[in-house]
Chains A and B, each alone.
Chain A
């Protein structure tokens, strides 16, 4: 693993997410095996790895939905397992496989998710985001496609200014137009000085959005740093894409 403490981005401030030596086992399977992850305030952090590498498990541990077996996990400086509801005031989460309550309409779902985070929908940017994502709120969740379910979760997450976005492959069901809207929203989020952890397979998107990336394999961190610094450690040329670097990390 390469250590890149020289990064300019937020190196002096306490990290929003700080994970050391995280271990999580399911029976005999080591889903996470000493994972390291540090996300500084104000950065968009790409979180990369193939299917089954442990990305979603890491996010669940960060959200306090799962308990770590070993290692230290700090979210805003606190233990997410113990203080999940309090810490969740400062974040919004978009799950990888968004499942909604089939009988609720999109509008009811967005409002419920906002209120469960302590936000009154009337005072939020819900209307603006619904417009930008072209979401039909009257549809019952049962009838939404995968992309539309994702849009419901994104609208709920982006409707209010939050300190941290935890995004698990948020664009995997979106069309290119909506991906464009998503990128704009993340850019605005970052411009406000807020933080995002973005797990994704779409490497061109991560390359465009992320200040730094962490690449994991079999529950362990193999690379972390800015794309430019990854090029340095891999002795790659300046025009090497993140995709090429990612594939190189797996050789």
Chain B
């Protein structure tokens, strides 16, 4: 028996709390869709050129793993949406995880859910309210990207089905998040579980799309359905039923799990901890708080690096003869150069998360408590900054080594350059981390995330819309040269490092001068 008293009230409150994050996220996604749709006409002038590109995309396992195949090489729409069909759909999926988590598990963790449950709001209302909100957001996003595609000059029918695939992704992501938020009493763990499930869905279809004979794997992943829906030619309308059925099943499972547990409790019962601790310093504390997250990140980037590194030289089998080898390495190298910016942008989430958690410490009053000891403000700030920056450099190093190992194990040559190429992105990530530190220094949350999205949008959309170079170059992700595809230069990295250091220095100064709340 579900009881839904108060759902409408909670829904209104949820929408009010999300009045900035949802429109902002949708705006970025819709803008990227429009930019990709409208750019295709100028990027690929002739039909023949388009078909050649589509064919070469389909021949590179690395790109197949990243974007999925182009099922119909004659379709302009499918080529235009090659990055959006799966990869950016994953980006949209994160929004639903954020929404579901903040309105269910975070509310329970902070005790606000208990406050609400003491009123005439039913037990099932919070989950029902956010499910309604998330489904509405999914429908709205589907409609908006459909309109963006039509406005960008793509065929109407394909645009509609493309919108449907993104809406379907939204429904499934909502279900995944709802289940993940039942598992642990910790909102952070629940978020990690949801992220891991989505990453798993992406990886399953990456293998299925890239490796001959394993194509059935793509059907196991809801993200694979985005390609298999065949939005742009001869759509499989019944795939829509898969999204709806899976989402409904996941939501029902979440509801069942929720109805069997106490408010605030998780499936995993908390293990008892030690009666004595070894942590003795702010650095030790920061590391202790993030060590699980850092270990998961390390495993994640190592696996991804190995997988994509191994796929980079996959072109090998298609070419034989003496001239082939050079071409393989050039394509492989180019692919890795195309992969590294994505890795750098994803890696930036780690330092931002570390800095956000330091901000949360202050909001909760833990920072003031810690600073009532002999710990100085400078040291407290430095502990956060060191883990954020050190972790970012470490993760890019692991990415580089994993790519190199994967590439080498699959028979690629001249792969040593991958490691310095990955490290070349460290200053760009530090710069964004430095801006997040300024937010910390000023006691403003979410500054890091805002800059990450802004830079991401500038880099991705700026090139497609042919914005002026100076504008695109405002993003640090545009400033790093695409080594090893293009030549190595020291200047951008040195400039970025100097900028990052001075920004972080400014943040340190700000933190030392202000009131601690």
Contacts and interface: CB of A to CB of B under 8 A. Distances in A.
A63 B284 CA distance: 23
A47 interface: no
Contacts of A113: 369, 373
Interface string A59-98: 0100111110000000000000000111011011101011
A89 B374 CA distance: 6
Given A85-B376, A88-B372, A117-B374, A108 B276 contact: yes
26 contacts: A63-B372, A65-B368, A84-B371, A84-B377, A85-B374, A86-B374, A89-B374, A98-B365, A98-B369, A99-B365, A99-B369, A101-B289, A102-B109, A107-B274, A108-B274, A108-B277, A111-B277, A111-B278, A112-B277, A112-B284, A116-B374, A117-B374, A140-B271, A140-B272, A143-B185, A166-B372
A139 interface: yes
A97 B275 contact: no
Given A93-B369, A116-B375, A103 B515 contact: no
Given A99-B364, A99-B365, A65 B516 contact: yes
Nearest to B273: A105
B270 A140 contact: yes
A118 interface: yes
B279 interface: yes
Given A105-B274, A137-B275, A142-B186, A95 B369 contact: yes
A139 B371 contact: no
A65 B285 contact: no
Nearest to A86: B374
Contacts of B516: 60, 65-66
A67 B370 contact: no
Interface residues of A, number: 45
Interface string A99-126: 1111111111111110111100100000
A86 B375 CA distance: 9
Interface in B266-298: 270-282, 284-285, 288-289
A64 B371 CA distance: 9
B273 A138 contact: yes
B366 interface: yes
B186 A105 contact: no
B366 A101 contact: yes
B270 to A, nearest CB: 5
Interface in B83-132: 109
Contact of A115 (B274, B280, B371): B280
A105 B366 contact: no
A105 B281 CA distance: 16
A138 B272 contact: yes
B362 to A, nearest CB: 10
Interface string B367-391: 0111111111100000000000000
A118 B374 contact: yes
A111 B368 contact: no
Nearest to B515: A66
A140 to B, nearest CB: 5
Contacts of B368: 60, 63, 65, 95
Contacts of B284: 112
B514 to A, nearest CB: 8
Which of A100, A101, A118, A143 counts the most chain B CB atoms within 10 A?
A: A101
B293 to A, nearest CB: 11
Contacts of A99: 364-366, 369
Contacts of A63: 368, 371-372
Nearest to B269: A143
